[in-house]
Every structure is written in structure tokens, then in C-alpha cells.
Amino acid sequence: MDFRLRPWKIEDVDSLVKYANNLNISKNLQDRFPSPYTLEDAYDFIGMNIAKGEPTEIFAIEVNGEAAGGIGLHQQADIQIKNAEMGYWLGEPYWGNGIMTRAIQQMVDYGFETFDITRIFARPFGTNLASQRVLEKAGFILEGRFEKTLFKNGEYLDELFYAVRRNSTSLSSSN
């Protein structure tokens, strides 16, 4: 299935609410991802991203002309400055179509070409097997598992660390 990564625009508010307001999405994301996801949340999120300017850190995943998900890199600070955390989600109607694996690969390429980083990591929940598979398909390696360190929806969850490094990935032509 075709998709493209592009900057968020204010016209995406309705599609953002349409796909983000889903418990099957929010249950696998940090609590700062609102649930329910309202129109006000969408305006706040998109406005924040537009205000950040260039380089773009968080992209919309456009499918069939709609913003149906998001993917972003968050460069770390202090002694972790050469690392960026990747976060992502995709609207449930598009799960299982290979979109997220390819979006992650594109974001890895973009991240290493755009930012002065050497490692990109993601932290899926231990219960999110689909996210773990997507990361592995995209070339990420499991670096660690921390048992029952997260508390989400009244239960303790394992936190996994997956990463890809600039010098070990064949995804980016700049390596």
C-alpha cells in the first residue's frame, strides 16, 4: 500500500482525530498521547509541530490522501546527545500492510542524514508484539528488556529497547 511521510498541516486535524481516537492505538503509547483524542488535542499537536519549524522532527504518515498516522524522532540531550528516540503509530485500518516497516526505514534514513546522531532507538511495550516485529523487519536490534518498569492502564508492562546504529545499518546511503 502506498504512503508518504510529510510535515503535518492544520488541515489534518479531522483525519488525526479520526485515526488517533482509538483505544487500540493509545494502549500502546505513552500516556501523553491523549485518550480520547479530541479536536483540541489535534490542533495543539499540529500547532506545536508547525511552530517547531525545520528540520521536521515529526511527520504525518499520509495514506489515501489522509494523515493516518505519525512518526517522529526526538533527539536526546546531555550525554545522550548522539541518540534519538523514534515514536510512531498508524491508524488501525492500515495495520498489516507493510506501511510502518517502510516508514521506519525512511525515518532512519532521514534521521541519520539530517541530525548529528549515531543511534536511533524505540521503546515498545513488551505486550506490543506487532511493534517489535516491525522494528526487527526494519533492521533494529533488541538491546534490552526491563521487566515490569512501565505502568499503563492499571498494569505493569515490560519495556523493550530496540536500536539501530549509523554504522550498522544498510538502510541509509550516508553510512
Reading the chain (175 residues) residue by residue, the pLDDT tens digits are 899 999 999 999 999 999 999 999 999 999 999 999 999 999 999 999 999 989 999 999 999 999 999 999 999 999 999 999 999 999 999 999 999 999 999 999 999 999 999 999 999 999 999 999 999 999 999 999 999 999 999 999 999 999 999 976 444 443 3
Give the domains, in start order, of the chain with CATH numbers: 4-168 (3.40.630.30)
Q: Which pLDDT belongs to residue 168? A: 63
User: Which residues, including other chains, have CB under 8 Å from residue 55's CB and lie 6 or more apart?
Assistant: 114, 115
Determine the 3-state secondary structure of 137 from DSSP: helix
Q: Which pLDDT belongs to residue 174? A: 39
DSSP 173: T
Q: Which pLDDT belongs to residue 99? A: 98
According to DSSP, the residues that pair with 74 across neighbouring strands are: 85
Cα 99 to Cα 97: distance, rounded to the nearest angstrom: 5
Grid-cell match 550498522, residue found: 168
DSSP secondary structure letters along 36-102: S--HHHHHHHHHHHHHH-SSP-EEEEEETTEEEEEEEEEE--GGGTTEEEEEEEE-GGGTTSSHHHH
User: Which residues, including other chains, have CB under 8 Å from residue 165's CB and lie 6 or more apart?
Assistant: 118, 119
126 close to 158: Cβ distance less than 8 angstroms: yes
Q: Which three cell numbers stand for residue 112?
A: 541519520
Question: Per-residue pLDDT tens for 65-116?
Answer: 999 999 999 999 999 999 999 999 999 999 999 999 999 999 999 999 999 9
133 close to 111: Cβ distance less than 8 angstroms: no
Q: Which pLDDT belongs to residue 175? A: 38
Q: Which pLDDT belongs to residue 83? A: 98
Instruction: Identify the burial level of 104 via C-beta atoms within 10 angstroms of its C-beta, where 0-12 means exposed, 13-18 middle and 19 or more buried.
Output: buried
Sign of CA dihedral 112, 123, 95, 74: negative
**pTM of the full predicted structure?**
0.91
Q: Largest Cα–Cα distance in the chain?
A: 44
